[in-house]
Amino acid sequence: MQQQTVGKPIRIEGNGLHTGKQASLTIHPAEPNSGIVFLRVDVNPPIFLKASVENVHSAQRCVTLGKDGITISTVEHLLAGLWGMGIDNALIEMEGEEIPALDGSSAPLVALLKDGGIIRQGERRKVASLKEGVWVRKGEAHIVAVPSPRLRITYFVDYNHSYASEQIASFVITEDVFEREIAPARTFGFDYEVETLLRNGYALGGSLENALLITKDGPATPLRFENELVRHKILDLIGDLSLLGFYPKCHILAIKASHTLHLELVRQLSSKMNIRRWII
Contact 109, 12 (CB under 8 A): yes
Q: What is the pLDDT along the chain (280 residues), one digit of tens a residue?
A: 899 999 999 999 999 999 999 999 999 999 999 999 999 999 999 999 999 999 999 999 999 999 999 999 999 999 999 999 999 999 999 999 999 999 999 999 999 999 999 999 999 999 999 989 999 999 999 999 999 999 999 999 999 888 888 999 999 999 999 999 999 999 999 999 999 999 999 999 999 999 999 998 999 999 999 999 999 999 999 999 999 999 999 999 999 999 999 999 999 999 887 544 444 3
Q: Residue 277: its pLDDT value, please? A: 44
| Annotated catalytic residue, options 18, 77, 232, 259 | 259
Q: Residue 161: its pLDDT value, please? A: 86
d(CA 219, CA 102): 19
d(CA 80, CA 87): 10
Contact 145, 130 (CB under 8 A): yes
Q: Residue 280: its pLDDT value, please? A: 34
d(CA 15, CA 29): 24
- What length does the chain have? 280
Contact 169, 220 (CB under 8 A): no
Contact 23, 205 (CB under 8 A): no
Domains of the chain: residue spans and CATH: 2-124 (3.30.230.20), 127-279 (3.30.1700.10)
Q: Residue 163: its pLDDT value, please? A: 81
Q: Residue 259: its pLDDT value, please? A: 97
β-pairing, 127-129 vs 247-255, is parallel
Q: What is the 3-state secondary structure (H, E, C) of the chain?
A: CEEEEECCCEEEEEEECCCCCEEEEEEEECCCCCCEEEEECCCCCCEEEECCHHHEEECCCCCEEEECCEEEECCHHHHHHHHHCCCCEEEEEEECCECECCCCCCHHHHHHHHHHCEEEEEEECCEEECCCCEEEEECCEEEEEEECCCCEEEEEEECCCCCCCEEEEEEECCHHHHHHHHCCCCCEEEHHHHHHHHHCCCCCCCCCCCCEEEECCEECCCCCCCCHHHHHHHHHHHHHHHHHCCEEEEEEEEECCCHHHHHHHHHHHHHHCCHHHEEC
Q: Residue 274: its pLDDT value, please? A: 57
Q: Does 77 participate in catalysis according to the annotation?
A: no
d(CA 1, CA 21): 39
d(CA 224, CA 96): 30
Contact 47, 70 (CB under 8 A): yes
